[in-house]
């Protein structure tokens, strides 16, 4: 990705004289310097001179549009900035916008406050004037209120920055579809043209044997080198299989990983979908290979589900560089545990779960697969971390896209599952399994999800709002009645 930065634009006017404007500039510089030094923001904030006039505001916004490293503008009205001065600039601005509703001082200076101080420090006044015009113009933006030195405020600003980068990078996501969607499946399909209009995604199809040629061209030396990396990094769980035979199966996945990655890099794709029903000359369904590609940041989903593959890529972009990240992956709802007090959903897939979500050792197994009519594929096996996360499903309702977000609690299963040869994650959706599952189904959610421990509902809602699509959130406060009413209102709003 680019070395993104965010511009800090302070609004004022010349009514109170040069001395006041000098203090405005000084205060905004201090804010930018201090929030950059905080270590809480993922990207640098760049100070810009105080904006006083229509010409200055319009010039800055258009400069931001043209700067490839500018991922968004953070605006703050230190004093009173007449909102009509912002109209042309806002009309022409095309990038993410944040309104930081703050003020320089944290506490009212009770002993010294006078009208000069009031006139100079009136963000409570000026930000409302500015906020009104942005609302009247119908411009999507993020509003964050709080003191600029407060850790909670900066953490929200950091979250918005990651969303803004997701918005910027969304227009660069390109998905390679190997073959087509699984036959007769509805939820993995969608309008690819509308997706490019809404999100900027390019979704292109390739015959499976075109990419298989890249796999076939991988040299034996390159394959052996990657197999050695596998054997040094992962536990080898041969379970009594012949060691040489086991290694040959692993080597097939090494060739697929190298070949697929060369194809993706040469063609400039950032996500990929496969389909077990159309494997062409591939010897195995891509398993370990896909898991490794996801770990490197590529998006993926099975059975041709390009929407989820793009969402996995997007969410990996948004979590890049997160301190102590717990991981992001493609997952699929498989089976329930309905024992009272232990309810949850076992998440997995045939093979392809990203090892970034793993906790503890990661092993390699070679096991038969009933689908695909190919030799036994190698795959990484592990169990996931515990903790909170979000499961998302982007669906096409025919007339609009809807992003469904379910907050979930991941935990360990009660007992080991020694005969299950795939990576797993077990979670309980909020507010509980019954309401969570009913709400998900009523909202039209898919069986595939783009899941992350490291993103919040707020961040994904902000992204969807910027894209102009509907969101449905299922969280601790959800009831089936409230959800159904919300979807009725949404249907009217997004018709």
Question: At 180, is the pLDDT very low, low, confident or very high (cuts 50, 70, 90)?
Answer: confident
Residues 7/70, Cβ–Cβ less than 8 Å: yes
Instruction: Check residue 447 and give its pLDDT.
Output: 96
Task: Kindly report, residue by residue over 71-95, the tens digit of the pLDDT.
Answer: 999 999 999 899 999 999 999 999 9
Question: At 16, is the pLDDT very low, low, confident or very high (cuts 50, 70, 90)?
Answer: confident
Q: What are phi and psi of 106, to 5 degrees?
A: -85, -40
Q: Please state, in angstroms and rounded to a whole number, the distance separating the CA atoms of residues 270 and 264.
A: 7
Which residues fall within 8 angstroms of residue 482, CB to CB, at 6 or more apart?
none
Neighbours of 370 (CB within 10 A): 7
Whether the pLDDT of residue 372 is over 80: the answer is no
Neighbours of 467 (CB within 10 A): 19
Q: What is the largest CA-CA distance in the chain?
A: 85
Q: Cα 483 to the chain's mean position, in Å?
A: 24
Instruction: Check residue 262 and give its pLDDT.
Output: 98
Cα angle, residue 419 at apex, residues 415 and 424 outer, rounded to 5°: 65
Task: Kindly report, residue by residue over 194-204, the tens digit of the pLDDT.
Answer: 999 999 999 99
Instruction: Check residue 423 and give its pLDDT.
Output: 97
Question: At 370, is the pLDDT very low, low, confident or very high (cuts 50, 70, 90)?
Answer: confident
Average pLDDT along the chain: 96
Residues 413/391, Cβ–Cβ less than 8 Å: no
Q: Please state, in angstroms and rounded to a whole number, the distance separating the CA atoms of residues 360 and 210.
A: 37
Pick the residue with more confidence: 9 or 188?
Answer: 9
Per-residue pLDDT averaged across 11-20, rounded? 89
Query: Percent of the chain beyond pLDDT 70?
Result: 100
Neighbours of 439 (CB within 10 A): 27
Instruction: Check residue 111 and give its pLDDT.
Output: 96
Cα angle, residue 301 at apex, residues 298 and 303 outer, rounded to 5°: 140
Instruction: Check residue 305 and give its pLDDT.
Output: 96
Residue of 223, 216, 221 lying closest to 263 (CA atoms): 216
Whether the pLDDT of residue 183 is over 90: the answer is no
Cα angle, residue 272 at apex, residues 353 and 207 outer, rounded to 5°: 130
Task: Kindly report, residue by residue over 290-345, the tens digit of the pLDDT.
Answer: 999 999 999 999 999 999 999 999 999 999 999 999 999 999 999 999 999 999 99
Question: At 453, is the pLDDT very low, low, confident or very high (cuts 50, 70, 90)?
Answer: very high
Q: pTM, whole model, 2 decimals? A: 0.95
> What are the structure tokens assigned to 455, written together?
């993103």
Task: Kindly report, residue by residue over 121-175, the tens digit of the pLDDT.
Answer: 889 999 999 999 999 999 999 999 999 999 999 999 999 999 999 999 999 999 9
Residues 11/78, Cβ–Cβ less than 8 Å: yes
Instruction: Check residue 167 and give its pLDDT.
Output: 97
Task: Kindly report, residue by residue over 394-431, the tens digit of the pLDDT.
Answer: 999 999 999 999 999 999 999 999 999 999 999 999 99
């Amino acid at each position: 990705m680019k070395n993104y930065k965010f511009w800090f634009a302070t609004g004022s006017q010349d009514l109170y004289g040069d001395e006041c404007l000098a203090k405005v500039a000084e205060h905004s510089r201090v804010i930018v310097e201090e929030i950059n030094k905080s270590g809480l923001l993922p990207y640098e904030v760049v100070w810009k001179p105080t904006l006083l006039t229509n010409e200055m505001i319009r010039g800055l916004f258009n400069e931001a549009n043209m700067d490839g490293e500018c991922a968004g503008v953070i605006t703050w009205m230190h004093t009173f900035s007449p909102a009509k001065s912002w109209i042309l600039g806002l009309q022409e601005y095309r990038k993410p916008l944040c309104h930081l509703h703050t003020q320089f001082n944290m506490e009212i200076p009770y002993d010294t406050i006078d009208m000069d101080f009031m006139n100079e420090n009136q963000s409570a006044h000026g930000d409302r004037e500015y906020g009104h015009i942005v609302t009247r113009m119908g411009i999507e933006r993020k509003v964050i209120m709080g003191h600029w030195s407060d850790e909670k405020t900066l953490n929200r600003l950091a979250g918005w920055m990651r969303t803004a980068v997701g918005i910027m990078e969304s227009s660069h996501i390109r998905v390679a579809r190997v073959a087509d969607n699984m036959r007769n499946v509805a939820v993995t399909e969608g309008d690819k043209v509308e997706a490019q209009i809404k999100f900027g995604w390019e979704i292109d199809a390739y015959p499976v044997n075109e990419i298989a040629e890249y796999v076939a061209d991988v040299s034996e030396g390159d394959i052996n080198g990657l197999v050695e990396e596998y054997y040094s990094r992962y536990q080898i769980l041969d379970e009594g299989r012949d060691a040489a035979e086991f290694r040959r199966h692993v080597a097939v996945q090494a060739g697929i990983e190298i070949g697929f990655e060369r194809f993706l890099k040469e063609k400039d794709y950032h996500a990929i979908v496969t389909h077990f029903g159309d494997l062409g000359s591939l010897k195995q369904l891509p398993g370990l290979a896909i898991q490794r590609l996801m770990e490197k940041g590529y998006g993926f989903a099975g059975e041709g589900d390009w929407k989820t593959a793009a969402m996995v890529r997007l969410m990996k972009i948004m979590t890049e560089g997160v301190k102590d990240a717990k991981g992001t992956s493609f997952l699929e709802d498989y089976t329930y545990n309905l024992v009272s007090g232990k309810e949850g959903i076992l998440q997995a897939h045939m093979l392809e779960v990203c090892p970034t979500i793993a906790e503890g050792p990661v092993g390699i197994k070679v096991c038969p697969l009933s689908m695909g009519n190919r030799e036994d594929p190698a795959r990484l096996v592990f169990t996931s971390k515990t903790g909170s996360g979000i499961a998302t499903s982007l669906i096409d309702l025919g007339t609009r896209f809807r992003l469904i977000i379910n907050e979930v609690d991941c935990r360990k299963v009660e007992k080991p599952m020694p005969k299950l040869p795939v990576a797993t994650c077990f979670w309980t959706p909020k507010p509980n399994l019954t309401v969570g599952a009913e709400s998900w189904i009523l909202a039209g959610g898919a069986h595939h999800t783009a899941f992350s421990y490291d993103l919040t509902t707020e961040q994904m809602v902000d992204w969807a709002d910027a894209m102009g699509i509907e969101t449905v959130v299922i969280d601790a406060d959800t009831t089936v009645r409230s959800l159904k009413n919300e979807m009725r209102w949404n249907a009217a709003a997004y018709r």
